[in-house]
Amino acid sequence: MAPEGQTKKQFVLLAETFQTLGDPSRLRIVWALSVKELCVGEIATLLAMSQPAVSHHLRMLRTLRLVKVRRDGRTTFYSLDDEHIERLLHEGAKHVEDLLV
């Protein structure tokens, strides 16, 4: 039985969000974007990943509206879509820290 007030679609979207964040590369990208807005090249350099790989992961993150895009001329900048993503990320990090104690 689903918790009161929650729809099946909400649980599906939540599962997709956690599944998307379950990939270490995407999680590292989201973590970097929780610090500041970055372009693909900056993310690739910071995380020692190829630009095509970063672009692929960003497309997935954009699809679920975990990140958003801002264009400045020919440069595309990425940031977290909203404060919920950052809170989710940091709560998960706290949980992991507690497990390691």
Over residues 54-80, the pLDDT tens digits come to 999 999 999 999 999 999 999 999 999
Q: What share of the chain is helix, strand, coil (3-state, %, to 5)?
A: 65, 15, 20
CB 41 within 8 A of CB 74: no
Return the CATH fold of 17-100.
Arc Repressor Mutant, subunit A (1.10.10)
- Residue 66 burial by CB count (10 A; 0-12/13-18/19+): exposed, middle or buried? buried
- pLDDT tens-place string over residues 18-44: 999 999 999 999 999 999 999 999 999
